[in-house]
Structure 1
Amino acid sequence: MEDSIKIIPLGGFDKIGMNITLIESSDSIIAIDCGMSFPPDNLPGVAAIIPDVSYLSENSDKFKGIILTHGHEDHIGALPYVFDGINVPVYGTPLTIAMVEKKFRDFGIKKVKTKAIKFGSTIVVGDFKIEFIRGNHSIPDSAMLAIYTSQGIIFNTGDFKFDMSPVMSKTADLARLTAIGTKGVLAVLSDSTNAMQSGFSRSERYVNDQLDRFFNMYRKNRLIIVTFATNMERVQQIINLALKYGRKIALEGDLLLDVFSAARKLGYINIPDNMLVENDMLDKCKDEELIFLTTGNHGESVKCISEIAAGNNPVIRIKKNDVVLFSSVTIHGSELEFSHTINSLEEQGARIEFQDLHATGHACAEELKLLFTMLHPKFVIPAHGEYRYRREAKRIAMEVGISSDDVFLIKNGDIIELKEDKCEIVGKIPLNEILIDGREKSKIDNLVICDRMRLSESGVVIIEICIDKKTGRCVSDLNIRCRGFLDEEKFSEISDELKDLSMKEISRFLGQGVRDERISNGITALAENFIKEKCEKTPIVIAFVTNVML
């Protein structure tokens, strides 16, 4: 029997998003999920943040595969970047794999082995057996994972809830969870996102009833409905209600179209062909016949409707008496944009409704209690959330009889060693989050971000001069310009003095016979110090010294 099993989270244990956890034996490593997170506003140009997978590169001989719980970006979004240097099989449920394959095609990545796994099936990856168990979440095909190791069962919930009356999907497989619990579970990695919410999470059926009420109330109005692109159960509810009230649907949002197409092929979405309205046919529909379904992903749920409110959407223009139904929640960090969007919509005459139109996809406190009671784990490792969420999950575990010493609040990079009767943190690996340039779809250095932030805060100063390479004489005037630094009048107050100092520095270098980049470096350093002393600002200074042959 092996000495131990290690659990190493590379993401997902300090904030919402970027979920990836490694399970390691002496001969094998598997990764559970491989997600990205969305950047805060203070990282200009950054489209995403992905985990540092250097540990996997360093141990590529042991890395056997990636097992995915579901198809949200915070669980699959980093895959194309990881596969730049690592190629292992990817396993997941059918819709998850369909979304991953589309993502690989978009990035031009070929020859990746993917395998769609049905609920109830068990696969062998390296030293581990992994059983896929049906859960409930806000996207179809969400799986819980029972990972059979030499030391016992490690249970990973993924993102989950227990919806006892779903509209479209089946309930979570509680019988199987109970059966696994009777075998004895070594450790549970549990979704903690909603641990601070008391009671049970709201069922999708409740949302269906509220949507029906608003459909009936606004029979004569054009409807614009905002939801998450991946919530196909919500989309199916809207389709069913549209059919009931004689409405047609126009889909708006690239991600929605992608997920909708994949879900429809797999039979998860049922819609009559004549219900969908293409953009070129919108003018033929009366307002009371039409529903615009607009979406974004889980990090940008408000993006599409914000564009509509600002008048930047090429298809939808707000009309007076439009009704906007927000069947989603505001994501942390986008509150200001959401507030601005609401104000803009109402100024244009739209009516806003969002009360009781959303159901979370994450377990609340009583569901976590039920989970721990069914599985009877020796150890609990709360995952997927900020510290305070995971701390609350620890309290919940203690309420059902799990010792405080057996619940571990760990951090990304911690190495947890598990044995049959022991769990402890034995080390830590260094991690650096990787920033992704939105335009290039490539990794971006932190120094570039620092430069962008400096440009946004203090602007740029450019100094140019031409020098005869042969004689060492200046053959042009010194030209100094600025952008985003000071207005023209204020800059003129310091530019003459800066020009004099720069010319003296150039003359000093030329007198010493210097003709190389030392001149531009010297001017840059001098200008930065001068500007900081005079203005208490630190713009980026760029000195161009061009050598010419006359």
Structure 2
Amino acid sequence: MTNANAPSKLRIVSLGGVDEIGKNMTVFEYEDDIVVIDCGSIFPKEDLLGVDLVIPDVTYLVEKKKNVRGYLFTHGHEDHIGATPYILRQVPAPLYGTKLTLALVDIKLKEHRLGNIPMRVVQPRDEIQLGKFTAKFIHVSHSIAGACAIALTCPAGTVVITGDFKVDYTPIDGHVTDLATFAELGEKGVLAMLCESTNVERPGHTMSEMKIGSTFEKMFR
């Protein structure tokens, strides 16, 4: 017998970024609410002559664009924001991200003469409500400032999307990955974690960017 009070299922649809480096874009759908995380592009391979840029196929979103509550960005690299102006023409919705990330997105929108797109700057640990979803931004260390993981919660549970990250205890900007918030989420219970895995097959760990500072000083003196 079906429980009428049971929460609906959360649907996660990857439009890019799985089994490839680039074109990151993931759709989260709960009932009639859709939230999209990242809108990345990828440079074409050698066999795609005449193609300048490859973006995700957003047919799924176009068919449900009235349900899209917003786009959330983990950081400002091209493989996470590069397709934004092309996709917004088809599926417009508000944009959310840190100050630097949205500044980089805004440059792209101006290049494409796209205006009147609502943008909201968020800070790490900010929570925003998007329909039945609550999104919490979590600071992570990366090779670009303003990078965040996102904890996306709906009645079905919480999904953690790490974005690109590294555990760097001596980052250049002094802001380490917010492991405390990750621990709190783990204690509460997480339905799923979508974890960035570029070069995960390589043994060892990534050195801190602080260590290369002396090398740059020698090169530029």
Offset of 1:208 from its aligned partner?
1.2
Correspondence for 1:155 = 160
> C-alpha separation between the residues in 2 aligned to 1:126 and 1:73?
28
Is this contact kept in 2: 1:17–1:37, CA < 8 A?
Answer: yes
Please state whether the residue corresponding to 1:192 is helix, strand or coil.
Answer: coil
Please state whether the residue corresponding to 2:123 is helix, strand or coil.
Answer: coil
Match of 1:80 among 54, 77, 85: 85
* TM-score normalised over the length of structure 2: 0.94
Correspondence for 2:98 = 93
Question: How much identity, in percent, do the aligned residues show?
Answer: 38
* TM-score normalised over the length of structure 1: 0.39
> C-alpha separation between the residues in 2 aligned to 1:190 and 1:168?
23
Quick check: 1:206 aligned with 2:211? yes
Deviations 1:322-360 (A, max 9, x none): xxxxxxxxxxxxxxxxxxxxxxxxxxxxxxxxxxxxxxx
> C-alpha separation between the residues in 2 aligned to 1:203 and 1:7?
33
> C-alpha separation between the residues in 1 aligned to 2:174 and 2:14?
30
Offset of 1:177 from its aligned partner?
1.0
> C-alpha separation between the residues in 1 aligned to 2:141 and 2:16?
22
Amino acid at match of 1:83: L
Larger RCO (alpha carbons 8 Å, 6+ apart): 1
Please state whether the residue corresponding to 1:130 is helix, strand or coil.
Answer: strand
Which structure has greater helix proportion?
Answer: 1
> C-alpha separation between the residues in 1 aligned to 2:20 and 2:129?
31
Offset of 1:199 from its aligned partner?
2.3
Please state whether the residue corresponding to 2:66 is helix, strand or coil.
Answer: coil
> C-alpha separation between the residues in 2 aligned to 1:171 and 1:9?
29
Larger radius of gyration: 1
Is this contact kept in 2: 1:95–1:141, CA < 8 A?
Answer: yes
Moved over 3 A (4+): none
Q: Give the unaligned 5+ runs of structure 1.
A: 216-222, 224-244, 246-550
Match of 1:182 among 183, 187, 192: 187
Please state whether the residue corresponding to 1:103 is helix, strand or coil.
Answer: helix
Offset of 1:190 from its aligned partner?
0.3
Is this contact kept in 2: 1:19–1:35, CA < 8 A?
Answer: yes
Offset of 1:169 from its aligned partner?
3.7
Quick check: 1:130 aligned with 2:144? no
Offset of 1:179 from its aligned partner?
1.2
Please state whether the residue corresponding to 2:212 is helix, strand or coil.
Answer: helix
> C-alpha separation between the residues in 2 aligned to 1:70 and 1:158?
8
Match of 1:143 among 125, 132, 148: 148
Correspondence for 2:41 = 36
Is this contact kept in 2: 1:165–1:171, CA < 8 A?
Answer: yes
Offset of 1:209 from its aligned partner?
2.7
> C-alpha separation between the residues in 2 aligned to 1:47 and 1:169?
37
Amino acid at match of 2:133: F
Correspondence for 1:54 = 59
Please state whether the residue corresponding to 1:61 is helix, strand or coil.
Answer: helix
Quick check: 1:21 aligned with 2:22? no
Amino acid at match of 1:192: S
Question: How many equivalent residue pairs?
Answer: 216
Amino acid at match of 1:115: R
Correspondence for 1:307 = none
Amino acid at match of 2:65: S
Written as runs of structure 1 = structure 2, the 5 A alignment for 1:324-339 is: none
